[in-house]
């Protein structure tokens, strides 16, 4: 279980250096009563590399982390925020799944409206399989304003405002039945890209699998982002139709390749399983071809074509049909080996690395070559749907042999690429210029994605990488058959410039797929809301309650309660209604002190609010059960927090 690593600092040099470290405290020279470093190392069985790793990650009380990692929460439907280098989880953001601590989906009208946007075919969908977060970008760099995240299971996207780390919008189009290449942004966040994963008839209609080749399709939606409103605008969004392969990850071009976006695909075999119907399984059928197709998409051209109205509308979404996509030169294919996962544009926008999970290489495409081939219409053929295929060998810079199961590549901005090796349990570091493998670092276990500090922007920071391992097995104390994932923090420039493992972080909830790491000081989050703020609009709420103006009004539509919350009481603290009354609560947290959050719960009514300082929230419900229902503050606010309570009385 113990790590075996080479010592990373020099003992002989230590004494001299320490004696001039200037860190002597009172009694430092006495040697009496103090815990000795070496005793401690022995007692805790720590080697020198452990000491270095510990000191590189430890944050004393009150010291802030330098980076924030935003990770998808997988099928928890949430987003996880981790501080680096301490690898402490700072927050789970409720996104697609109701979460009561944040008062998300437990009575608050504004938050419920966001969740309701996520319905599919009129049905509540109260979870998600969040895969790929995307921070908003300006000129190809993270700007810290907004985070997008995709739901693979139900083909949805969410928008999280980083002023308050809360979810403001969910969009979905019934055009798609699932997604995977979502969310990925263009360099100025003009569009957020969502590509389908499992082909289906567009728009949710029924067609038998026998008609797979003709009636099943892939598609990619370009969701238009309105930066002023910080919302996606479905009316300005459009889609392009794709052949029924399984489109996978995506990445937008930047700088030299700006205007293009790249999708991977697998299952160009168009297998669909059917093991009890005489077919091979999908895993077998989809793994026959040695090459699948890298999709090269000219999204600026697509935008023009959509603006020109060369679209049909399916499920309310404008879509450029495949013949038009081809005729307008929006889509070209380049072969890519074999069942690839990640497609990752280098920081300068010149190259694109693809990891074929059943191949042993990273394949590096050169955008300039692709562009020349497109311009010259130099095709080696067309796919069954007429999409032109560019010649593989003329499109690549080359390949680098990495080992087994290459999945996903990130960059350090210093000439190196880092590819996760699922089957090898390793991160492979390789030089971009000469395509040489430099180092492989063992990870634990089954690494999926990896992420580097600002590593998919135009200016990676080149210091940290996180390996997102899918299995933990024996890494942590046992907690039942369902185990955490294991995020491993890797220093990129450790001893001798090599990668060094610093820290193992169990992920206690959800299964993060991809993550992005941003400098913490780029994110300008609020400490408090302005008094009476509606957190959905960041404006003064219509029913905001000022201190001294609290009241209960019986109106035609029901009982309106204008309530304030402040340490340590609600006003009013007694609400009297009759059974069957509709109740409208309008609650404003009067606090303007950082961290002075109040909760508000009513017994047996499934209501819980989280009222941040200054926040106003509205609730509507029917008092359908007579009785005496305590209501109280669920966020420990003060010494008299338990006394911050009242009664909701429903007369029979």
Interface positions, 194-213, toward a copy of itself (CB under 8 A): 197-198, 200-201, 204-209
In sequence order, the β-bridge partners of residue 84 are 67
Q: Which is nearer to a copy of itself, 57 or 363 (CB)?
A: 57
The DSSP symbol for 35 reads P
Interface positions, 574-603, toward a copy of itself (CB under 8 A): 574, 594-595, 597, 599, 601, 603
Instruction: Write the secondary structure of 426-458 as one string of H (helix), E (strand) and C (coil).
Output: EEEEEECCCCEEEEEEECCCCEEEEEEECCCCC
Could you count the other beta carbons within 10 Å of the beta carbon of residue 456? 26
Quote the least distance from Cβ 393 to a copy of itself, whole Å. 26
The DSSP symbol for 4 reads -
How many residues touch a copy of itself (CB under 8 A)? Answer: 220
Spell out, one character per residue from 391 to 410, where the chain touches a copy of itself: x when CB under 8 A holds, - when not. --------------x-----
Separation in Å, CA 211 to CA 207, 216, 245, 271, 273 = 7, 7, 14, 12, 14
Q: Which stretch binds a copy of itself (CB under 8 A): 192-200, 237-245, 345-353, 376-384?
A: 192-200
Quote the least distance from Cβ 226 to a copy of itself, whole Å. 22
According to CB under 8 A, which one of 71, 72, 73, 352 is a site residue for a copy of itself?
73
Q: Which is nearer to a copy of itself, 264 or 346 (CB)?
A: 264
Cα 433 off chain centre by: 30
What is the SS3 assignment for 585? strand
According to CB under 8 A, which one of 192, 505, 577, 583 is a site residue for a copy of itself?
505
CB 449 within 8 A of CB 517: no
What is the SS3 assignment for 102? coil
Q: Which is nearer to a copy of itself, 307 or 551 (CB)?
A: 551
Quote the least distance from Cβ 275 to a copy of itself, whole Å. 5
Q: Which is nearer to a copy of itself, 290 or 434 (CB)?
A: 290
In whole angstroms, what is the distance from residue 434 CA to residue 436 CA? 6
Q: Which stretch binds a copy of itself (CB under 8 A): 304-312, 323-331, 411-419, 630-638?
A: 630-638
Quote the least distance from Cβ 584 to a copy of itself, whole Å. 16
CB 345 within 8 A of CB 252: yes
Q: What is the DSSP string of 387-432?
A: -EE--HHHHEEEEEE--S-EEEEEE-SSSEEEEEETTTTEEEEEET
254: Cβ contacts below 8 Å, ≥ 6 apart:
140, 187, 345, 347, 349, 458
CB 72 within 8 A of CB 513: yes
Interface positions, 433-452, toward a copy of itself (CB under 8 A): 444, 446, 448
Interface positions, 217-256, toward a copy of itself (CB under 8 A): 246, 248
- Please tell me the number of Cα atoms within 13 Å of 360 on its side-chain side: 5
Interface positions, 84-113, toward a copy of itself (CB under 8 A): 88-92, 97-102, 106
Spell out, one character per residue from 534 to 573, where the chain touches a copy of itself: x when CB under 8 A holds, - when not. ----------------xxx---------------xx-xxx
Nearest to 173 by CA among 152, 185, 156: 156
Q: Which is nearer to a copy of itself, 60 or 309 (CB)?
A: 60
Quote the least distance from Cβ 506 to a copy of itself, whole Å. 5
CB 446 within 8 A of CB 473: no
Q: Which is nearer to a copy of itself, 64 or 377 (CB)?
A: 64
Q: Is the peptide bond before 364 cis (omega within 30 degrees of 0)?
A: no
Q: Which stretch binds a copy of itself (CB under 8 A): 115-123, 230-238, 250-258, 580-588?
A: 115-123
CB 336 within 8 A of CB 354: yes
Instruction: Write the secondary structure of 226-239 as one string of H (helix), E (strand) and C (coil).
Output: ECCCCEEEEEEEEE
* Residue ranges with strand state E in 243-290: 246-252, 260-266
Quote the least distance from Cβ 599 to a copy of itself, whole Å. 6
Quote the least distance from Cβ 279 to a copy of itself, whole Å. 8
Quote the least distance from Cβ 181 to a copy of itself, whole Å. 12
Interface positions, 21-60, toward a copy of itself (CB under 8 A): 21-42, 44, 46-60
Judged by CB under 8 A, does residue 216 bind a copy of itself?
Answer: yes
Q: Which stretch binds a copy of itself (CB under 8 A): 343-351, 367-375, 427-435, 480-488?
A: 480-488
According to CB under 8 A, which one of 231, 310, 414, 475 is a site residue for a copy of itself?
475
In whole angstroms, what is the distance from residue 145 CA to residue 525 CA? 9
* Residue for token pair 């889509």: 331
Nearest to 308 by CA among 331, 296, 324: 324
According to CB under 8 A, which one of 222, 293, 411, 422 is a site residue for a copy of itself?
422
What is the SS3 assignment for 283? helix
Separation in Å, CA 370 to CA 89, 297, 574 = 42, 11, 70
According to CB under 8 A, which one of 328, 391, 435, 471 is a site residue for a copy of itself?
471
According to CB under 8 A, which one of 224, 254, 338, 357 is a site residue for a copy of itself?
357
Q: Which is nearer to a copy of itself, 306 or 602 (CB)?
A: 602
Q: Which is nearer to a copy of itself, 107 or 347 (CB)?
A: 107
Quote the least distance from Cβ 455 to a copy of itself, whole Å. 19
Interface positions, 286-305, toward a copy of itself (CB under 8 A): 286-287
Interface positions, 125-184, toward a copy of itself (CB under 8 A): 125-129, 153-155, 162-166, 177-178, 180
Quote the least distance from Cβ 380 to a copy of itself, whole Å. 27
According to CB under 8 A, which one of 495, 522, 540, 543 is a site residue for a copy of itself?
495
Q: Do the bridges between strand 406-411 and strand 156-161 make them parallel or antiparallel, or are there none, so unpaired?
A: unpaired
Quote the least distance from Cβ 390 to a copy of itself, whole Å. 25
């Amino acid at each position: 279980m113990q790590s075996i690593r080479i010592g990373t600092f020099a003992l002989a040099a230590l004494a001299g250096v320490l004696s001039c470290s200037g860190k002597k405290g009172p009694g430092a020279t006495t040697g009496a009563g103090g815990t000795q470093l070496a005793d401690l190392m022995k007692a805790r069985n720590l080697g020198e590399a452990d000491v270095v790793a510990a000191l590189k990650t430890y944050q004393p009380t009150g010291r802030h982390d330098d980076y924030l990692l935003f990770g998808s929460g997988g099928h928890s439907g949430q987003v996880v925020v981790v501080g680096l280098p301490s690898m402490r989880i700072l927050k789970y953001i409720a996104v697609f799944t109701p979460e009561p601590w944040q008062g998300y989906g437990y009575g608050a009208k504004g938050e419920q409206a966001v969740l309701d946007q996520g319905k599919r075919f009129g049905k509540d969908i109260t979870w998600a399989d969040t895969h790929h977060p995307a921070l908003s970008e300006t000129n190809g760099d993270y700007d810290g304003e907004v985070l997008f995240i995709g739901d693979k299971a139900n083909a949805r996207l969410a928008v999280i405002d980083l002023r308050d780390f809360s979810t403001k919008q969910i969009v979905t189009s019934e055009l798609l039945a699932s997604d995977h290449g979502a969310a990925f942004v263009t360099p100025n966040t003009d569009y957020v890209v969502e590509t389908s994963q499992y082909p289906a008839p567009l728009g949710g209609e029924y067609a038998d699998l026998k008609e797979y080749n003709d009636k099943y399709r892939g598609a990619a939606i370009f969701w238009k982002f309105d930066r002023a409103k910080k919302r996606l605008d479905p009316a300005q969004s459009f889609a392009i139709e794709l052949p029924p392969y399984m489109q996978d990850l995506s990445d937008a071009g930047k700088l030299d390749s700006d205007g293009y976006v790249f999708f991977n695909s697998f299952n160009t075999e168009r297998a669909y399983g059917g093991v009890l119907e005489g077919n091979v399984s999908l895993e077998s059928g989809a793994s026959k071809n040695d090459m699948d197709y890298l999709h090269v998409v000219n999204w600026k051209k697509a935008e023009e074509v959509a603006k020109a109205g060369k679209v049909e509308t399916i499920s309310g979404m404008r879509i450029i049909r495949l013949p038009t996509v081809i005729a307008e030169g929006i889509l070209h294919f380049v072969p890519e080996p074999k069942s690839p996962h990640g497609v990752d544009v280098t920081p300068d926008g010149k190259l694109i690395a693809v990891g074929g999970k059943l191949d042993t290489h990273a394949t590096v495409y050169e955008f300039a070559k692709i562009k020349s081939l497109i311009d010259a219409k130099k095709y080696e053929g067309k796919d069954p749907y007429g999409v032109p295929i560019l010649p593989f060998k003329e499109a690549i810079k080359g390949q680098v042999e990495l080992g087994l199961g290459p999945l996903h590549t990130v960059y350090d901005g210093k000439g190196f690429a880092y590819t996760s090796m699922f089957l090898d349990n390793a991160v492979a570091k390789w030089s971009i210029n000469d395509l040489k493998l430099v180092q492989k670092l063992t990870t634990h276990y089954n690494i999926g994605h990896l992420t580097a500090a600002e590593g998919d922007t135009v200016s990676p920071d080149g210091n940290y990488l996180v390996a997102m391992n899918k299995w933990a097995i024996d890494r942590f104390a046992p907690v039942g058959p369902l185990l955490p994932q294991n995020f491993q923090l890797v220093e990129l420039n450790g001893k001798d410039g090599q990668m060094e493992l610093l820290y193992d972080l169990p992920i206690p909830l959800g299964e993060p797929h991809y993550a992005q790491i941003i400098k913490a000081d780029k994110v300008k989050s609020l400490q408090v809301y302005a008094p009476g703020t509606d957190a959905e609009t960041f404006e003064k709420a219509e029913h905001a309650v000022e201190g001294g103006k609290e009241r209960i009004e019986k109106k035609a539509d029901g009982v309106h309660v204008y309530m304030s919350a402040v340490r340590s009481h609600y006003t009013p603290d007694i609400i009297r209604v009759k059974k069957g009354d509709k109740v409208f609560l309008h609650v404003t947290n009067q606090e303007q002190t950082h961290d002075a959050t109040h909760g508000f719960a009513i017994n047996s009514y499934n209501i819980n609010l989280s009222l941040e300082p200054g926040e106003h929230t509205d609730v509507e419900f029917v008092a359908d059960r007579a009785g005496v229902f305590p209501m109280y503050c669920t966020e420990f606010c003060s010494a008299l927090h338990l006394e911050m309570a009242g009664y909701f009385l429903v007369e029979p």
